[in-house]
A and B are shown apart, each in its own frame.
Chain A
Amino acid sequence: MNWMIVVVGAVVGAPLRYLTDRAVQARHDSVFPWGTFAVNAGACLVLGVLTGAVLAGAASERLSLLLGPGLCGALSTYSTFSYETLRLYERGWRFLAAANVAASVLAGLGAVTLGSQVARQLFA
C-alpha cells in the first residue's frame, strides 16, 4: 500500500520534471541548465514545506509518502544535475559548471529551510 502511494507520486513527479524542464528551456537561450535548476529548487521547497508540516503534526503518513519519496523524489534529480555539470565542464564552460553546482546546492538548501520555516509558522 505504501509502495503504491510512492509510485503514484512518482508517476506524476517524473513527467512533471520533464515538462517543467521543457517549459523553462523554451524561455531562455543560454547554456545554463535553468530547467533542472528550477525543478530541483521547486522540489526542495515543497519537501521543506512537507518536513515542516510533519514536524508540526499537520501531515499524515500517507501524504508524506505521496509528496516526499514519491512526488519530490521523482521531481528532483541528482543524475541530470551532475551530468549537465559534466557537460558544461567538458565543453569548456568551467565557470558555469562551478556556478551550477554552487547555485543548485545553495538554492536547494535555502528552499528546504524556507519551506520548512513557512510550514512551521503556518501549522504551528
Chain B
Amino acid sequence: MTGPGGDGAAEAIDPDVDLHVPGQRAERQGPVLAAIAVGGALGASARYGASLLWPAAGPGAFPWTTFWTNVIGCALIGVLMVLISEGGRTPPHPLVRPFAGVGVLGGFTTFSTYAVDFSRLLDAGEAERALAYAGLTVVAALGAVWAGAAVTRLAAGLPARGGPRRRA
C-alpha cells in the first residue's frame, strides 16, 4: 500500500477488517461471528423497537425515526472507535469491536432503510422532502461521528486528529 498516511504503522480505513494485519487474516472466525450475530440481533431489535414506538406518520412524512437511529448510531461509533483504537495502554478484549461496533451499531444503523425512505418520499410526490432527508441524514451522520470522536478525544485527553496528515 502506498498510502499517504505517513505515521508508521498504516491504519486501516475500514475499522472492521484490516487484512494488512497478519493476525486478522488468520483470525479464528467462530467467536467473532457469534459476537457479531448476537450484537447484530440486539442492534436490530433496538431499531425495530424504535420503529414500533415512533412509526412514520405516513408515506409522505419525514422519516424521523430512521434519521435519529442513524445519527445516534454514528455518534456512538465515533465514541467507541476512539476508545478502542486510540485509548492506548491496555488493548480491549478482541471481541469488543465485533460485538459492539460491527454487531450492535452496525445492526442498529441502516443504509438500506435510508435509501428506501428516500424512494418512498419520491413516490409520494414529496421530491423536496426526499432530497432534504437524503442530504440532512448524510450531514447529521457525518457530524455525529465527528462530534462523537472529538468529544471522546477531548474527554480522554487524546490528541485531536482534525488536521491534514497527508504527505506528498
* Closest Cβ–Cβ distance, residue B150 to chain A (whole Å): 10
A contact residues around B19 at 8 Å (CB): 22, 25-26
Contact, CB under 8 Å: B33 / A6: no
Which secondary structure dominates where chain A touches chain B?
A: helix
Inter-chain contact B106/A79, CB cutoff 8 Å: yes
B54 CB–A CB distance under 8 Å:
no
List A contacts of B81 (CB < 8 A).
83
Interface residues of A in 1-23 (CB under 8 A from B): 3, 6-7, 9-11, 13-15, 17-19, 21-22
Sample of 15 A–B contacts (CB below 8 Å): A13-B44, A13-B107, A14-B41, A18-B36, A47-B115, A69-B47, A69-B48, A72-B112, A78-B73, A79-B74, A79-B106, A82-B142, A83-B81, A92-B167, A104-B111
Whether A21 contacts B44 in the complex (CB less than 8 A), given A14-B106, A48-B116, A108-B115, comes out as: no
CB of B152 within 8 Å of the partner chain: no
Q: Please determine whether A93 and B115 come into contact, CB atoms closer than 8 angstroms.
A: no
| Cβ–Cβ contact A21 & B16, under 8 A | yes
List the 5 closest A-B pairs by CB distance, nearest first: A14-B40, A92-B166, A10-B44, A78-B109, A76-B111
Indicate with 1 or 0, residue by residue over A25-40, a CB within 8 angstroms of chain B CB atoms.
Answer: 1100101110110001
Cα separation A105 to B28 with both chains bound (whole Å) = 33
Q: Does A53 contact B (CB under 8 A)?
A: no
A101 near B112 with CB under 8 A, answer no
Identify 14 new A-B residue pairs, CB closer than 8 A, beyond the known A14-B36, A35-B14: A6-B44, A6-B45, A13-B44, A18-B32, A47-B112, A51-B116, A69-B48, A79-B108, A82-B142, A84-B14, A84-B15, A91-B11, A108-B115, A109-B115
